[in-house]
């Protein structure tokens, strides 16, 4: 028996269920939804009153454009009314915040759409349990719950399939499972059989009948009279108003079981990361990789370049250590020909003991002093020649000034000099070349035409050539030291040569180096009668200067890397914006199952972050690889700083967040109804 009520003359409608006595599940009063279209107002819904009780099966029918979908979206809390009120389960929902509305959708409402609206990247169980993600339910429990539902709706054996491997009827079953997964009060269905053939359509309607029989409340929008005829109540809408409201029977369904309320939590971080990686990045691998490239190159150039400059810096520090700290050197300029002749007219001695005395007198800050002279003599032992050997006659505190110490035996001492002993100390490479590394001490060798006894072997010192002006780093492992007095006595001096090639001073502190060196220059110059036969150099100062020039280079590199990161960031933004507009429907679906705005924001931000962090890590690896390549190919020292690596990945992440924010915000701001309409 059908029971029909029509809209009365004053536009109000007496609801048939008022007789049921229980408060309605849905109560709407004078609900309106107007759209402003330029000057024109479209009254999609125009003052609707409607009560729907728990356990009812209502079909909403009406011609196309009459406002059915608009009503559906309002009932589903996906849209906000322009006016009027809406109570769902006794709670006024028309004025709720986005988070609360989302929670209501998530807990109280299940949607079934004509187009199924499944997420193609997810399998059946993951699609079914999508809403539970937004309750913070752990993955295992979600999938278990989904499996029970899927089996109940005849999807056994299909759980691992993706939507594109399912038939239309199966997809709609998955969508129904998804709607049911949160045990909602209300199922809202928009033409659920519209895309199905008649046989499958009937099967799906059977599912709804069964759900209805179990006490579920179902509201179904349809334009198919046959489908509508299966509902127990048919509400007809025309021009945004309820035109008729007919009931077939008033038979109470089994009372609805009280819903087990799960405590809602925020989406788990693990789920956010999973969504970002699996559904965002892995779904478009090539695109993600290309997006990453900007970040990869940016970070790689920072890492590679800092490795090279840092390597250079460390090498220089090592070189400073090798020349000795706080050194000032007075060096013979090694003039020849006419210039030497003229220099010697002014100062016949070259660098000599007079200079050493003057230095000691005039420069109070001298801590140690050493002087040496190179002798051109061949070093041999038996028939072995050490061609690379460099023989130096040394005096003073050579070890301390040069910061290079004897390893075995002893160094030359004062008595050796005073007694003109023919003793020598060898660099390890020379000891090796002469074949006496094992038992060097006490061995004899010939330097020029004199026999010497080995009294010591220097420590091994790794050697790197210097590229800095006036900083002569020599391979000290090739040195042979003899007392300067011995050198002076036994080896004829070249015509016009000075007593020493170099006088090296170690100063007490590095503060005064430049001032001291200037003072030293003046003292020596006046002593040398303005001759150009010497030069004063401060190796440390030269290194500092060269580091300063490198700093300019560093700034340029930083700017290039920064620009590359910027371009990388813009790339991320660009791709993310494209991705957001491409995934409009996905956003709509997520919103429909209860994702609030901030979760959508988080999801896209997480994607940008993952892209940039992976890009950052790949960038670090590429940078290290590039650095190593430079090291191997050009024999250039490289050094990596974990701090810089950490900062780089941090910066990459900041770029990701910075440039991902706008697209993520665009996604979050999207109107769920528009998004669902795609």
| Residues near ligand ADP, by CB under 6 A | 35, 37, 42, 44, 62, 64-70
Least CB distance to ligand ADP at residue 672 (A): 12
Least CB distance to ligand ADP at residue 190 (A): 8
Least CB distance to ligand ADP at residue 678 (A): 13
Instruction: Tokens for 387, please give them.
Output: 């061609």
Residue (27 or 68) nearer to ligand ADP, CB: 68
What are the residues whose beta carbons fall under 8 Å from the beta carbon of 152, sequence distance 6 or more? 177
Least CB distance to ligand ADP at residue 581 (A): 17
Least CB distance to ligand ADP at residue 676 (A): 11
Least CB distance to ligand ADP at residue 202 (A): 23
3-state secondary structure of 534: strand
Least CB distance to ligand ADP at residue 84 (A): 16
Place of tokens 């970002």: 276
Instruction: Tokens for 24, please give them.
Output: 């309605």
Residue (7 or 497) nearer to ligand ADP, CB: 7
Residue (69 or 288) nearer to ligand ADP, CB: 69
Residue (237 or 520) nearer to ligand ADP, CB: 237
The sign of the CA dihedral 98, 100, 105, 109 is negative
Least CB distance to ligand ADP at residue 42 (A): 4
Say how far apart CA 402 and CA 352 lie, in whole Å. Answer: 19
Least CB distance to ligand ADP at residue 108 (A): 22
Place of tokens 């993706």: 162
Residue (44 or 219) nearer to ligand ADP, CB: 44
Least CB distance to ligand ADP at residue 69 (A): 3
Instruction: Tokens for 623, please give them.
Output: 């940078």
Residue (42 or 535) nearer to ligand ADP, CB: 42
Residue (242 or 375) nearer to ligand ADP, CB: 242
3-state secondary structure of 120: coil
Q: What counts of helices (H) and strands (E) characterise the chain?
A: 22, 23
CB 604 within 8 A of CB 667: yes
Residue (64 or 642) nearer to ligand ADP, CB: 64
Least CB distance to ligand ADP at residue 220 (A): 13
Look at the chain and count its residues: 678
Residue (44 or 428) nearer to ligand ADP, CB: 44
The H or E element containing residue 326 is none
563, HSE (Cβ side, Cα atoms, 13 Å): 5
Least CB distance to ligand ADP at residue 67 (A): 4
Place of tokens 């990869």: 296
3-state secondary structure of 459: coil
CB 599 within 8 A of CB 664: no
Identify which of 231, 170, 161 has the alpha carbon closest to the alpha carbon of residue 203: 170
Say how far apart CA 460 and CA 479 lie, in whole Å. Answer: 11
E strands, 459-583, are 479-483, 502-507, 534-537
Say how far apart CA 484 and CA 488 lie, in whole Å. Answer: 6
Least CB distance to ligand ADP at residue 36 (A): 8
Say how far apart CA 75 and CA 83 lie, in whole Å. Answer: 14
Pairing, β 450-458 against β 384-386:
unpaired
CB 598 within 8 A of CB 265: no
Place of tokens 């042979």: 480
Residue (81 or 568) nearer to ligand ADP, CB: 81
Residue (312 or 672) nearer to ligand ADP, CB: 672
Produce one character per residue of 311-334: b if its CB has 16 or more CB atoms within 10 Å, e if not: bbbebbeebbebbbebbbbbbbbe
SS3 content of the chain, % helix, strand, coil (to 5): 50, 20, 30
Cα of 571 vs its chain's centroid, Å: 15
The H or E element containing residue 516 is helix 513-527
Residue (69 or 531) nearer to ligand ADP, CB: 69
> For residue 126, with 0-12 CB atoms within 10 Å meaning exposed, 13-18 middle and 19 or more buried, which class applies?
buried
Name the packing angle between helices 539-582 and 584-592 (round to 10°): 70
Least CB distance to ligand ADP at residue 27 (A): 21
User: Which runs of consecutive H residues, i.e. helices, occur in 77-152?
Assistant: 98-108, 124-128, 130-133, 139-152
Least CB distance to ligand ADP at residue 72 (A): 7
Say how far apart CA 348 and CA 622 lie, in whole Å. Answer: 60
Residue (190 or 279) nearer to ligand ADP, CB: 190
Least CB distance to ligand ADP at residue 37 (A): 6
Identify which of 49, 65, 41 has the alpha carbon closest to the alpha carbon of residue 11: 49
Residue (37 or 199) nearer to ligand ADP, CB: 37
Residue (37 or 552) nearer to ligand ADP, CB: 37
Residue (237 or 575) nearer to ligand ADP, CB: 237
Q: Which value, to the nearest 10 degrees, does the dihedral of the CA atoms of residues 609, 611, 616, 617 take?
A: 110
């Amino acid at each position: 028996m059908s029971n029909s009520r029509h809209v009365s003359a004053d536009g109000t409608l007496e609801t048939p269920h008022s007789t049921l006595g229980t408060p309605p599940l849905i109560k709407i009063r004078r609900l309106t939804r107007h759209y402003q279209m330029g000057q024109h107002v479209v009254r999609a819904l125009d003052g609707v009153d409607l009560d729907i009780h728990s356990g009812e099966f209502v079909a909403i029918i009406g011609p196309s454009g009459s406002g059915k979908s608009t009503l559906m979206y309002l009932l589903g809390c996906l849209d906000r009314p322009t006016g009027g009120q809406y109570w769902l389960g006794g709670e006024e929902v028309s004025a709720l915040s986005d988070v609360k509305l989302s929670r209501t959708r998530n807990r109280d409402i299940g949607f079934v759409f004509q187009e199924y609206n499944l997420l193609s990247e997810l399998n059946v169980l993951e699609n079914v349990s999508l809403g539970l993600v937004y309750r913070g339910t752990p993955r295992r429990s979600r999938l278990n719950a989904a499996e029970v539902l899927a089996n109940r709706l005849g999807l056994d054996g299909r759980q691992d399939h993706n939507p594109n491997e399912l038939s239309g009827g199966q997809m709609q079953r998955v969508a129904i499972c998804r709607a049911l997964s949160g045990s909602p009060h209300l199922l809202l269905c928009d033409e659920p059989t519209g895309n199905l053939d008649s046989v499958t359509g009937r099967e799906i309607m059977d599912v709804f009948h069964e759900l209805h029989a179990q006490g579920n409340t179902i509201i179904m929008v349809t334009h198919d009279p046959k489908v509508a005829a299966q509902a127990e109540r048919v509400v007809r809408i025309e021009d945004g108003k309820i035109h008729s409201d007919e009931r077939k029977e008033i038979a109470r369904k089994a009372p609805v079981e009280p819903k087990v309320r799960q405590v809602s939590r925020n989406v788990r971080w693990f789920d956010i990361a999973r969504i970002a990686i699996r559904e965002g990045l892995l779904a478009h691998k090539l695109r993600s990789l290309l997006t990453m490239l900007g970040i990869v190159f940016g970070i790689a150039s920072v890492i590679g370049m800092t490795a090279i400059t840092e390597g250079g810096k460390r090498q220089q520090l090592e070189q400073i250590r090798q020349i000795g700290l706080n050194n000032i050197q007075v060096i013979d300029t090694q003039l020849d020909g006419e210039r030497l002749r003229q220099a010697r007219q002014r100062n016949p001695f070259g660098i000599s003991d007079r200079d050493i005395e003057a230095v000691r007198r005039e420069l109070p800050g001298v801590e140690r002093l050493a002087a040496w002279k190179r002798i051109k003599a061949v070093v041999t032992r038996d028939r072995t020649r050490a061609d690379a050997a460099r023989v130096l006659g040394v005096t003073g505190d050579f070890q301390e000034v040069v910061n290079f110490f004897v390893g075995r035996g002893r160094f030359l001492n004062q008595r050796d000099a005073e007694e003109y002993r023919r003793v020598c100390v060898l660099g390890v490479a020379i000891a090796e070349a002469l074949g006496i590394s094992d038992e060097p001490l006490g061995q004899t060798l010939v330097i020029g035409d004199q026999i010497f006894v080995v009294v010591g072997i220097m420590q091994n010192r790794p050697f790197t050539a210097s590229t800095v002006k006036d900083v002569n780093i020599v391979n000290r492992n090739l040195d042979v030291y003899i007392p300067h007095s011995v050198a002076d006595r036994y080896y004829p001096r070249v015509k016009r040569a000075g007593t020493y090639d170099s006088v090296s001073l170690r100063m007490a502190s590095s503060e005064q180096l430049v001032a001291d060196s200037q003072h030293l220059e003046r003292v020596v110059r006046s002593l040398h009668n303005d001759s150009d036969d010497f030069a004063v150099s401060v190796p440390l100062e030269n290194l500092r200067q060269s580091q300063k020039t490198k700093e300019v280079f560093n700034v340029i590199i930083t700017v290039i890397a920064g620009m590359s990161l910027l371009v990388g960031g813009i790339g991320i933004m660009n791709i993310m914006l494209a991705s957001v507009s491409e995934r409009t429907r996905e956003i709509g679906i997520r919103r429909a199952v209860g994702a609030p705005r901030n979760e959508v924001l988080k999801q896209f931000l997480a994607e940008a972050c993952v892209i940039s962090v992976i890009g950052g890590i790949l960038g670090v690896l590429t940078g290290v690889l590039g650095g190593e390549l430079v090291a191997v190919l050009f024999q250039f020292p490289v050094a990596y700083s974990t701090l810089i690596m950490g900062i780089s990945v941090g910066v990459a992440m900041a770029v990701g967040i910075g440039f991902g924010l706008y697209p993520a915000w665009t996604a979050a701001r999207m109107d769920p109804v528009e998004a669902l309409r795609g």
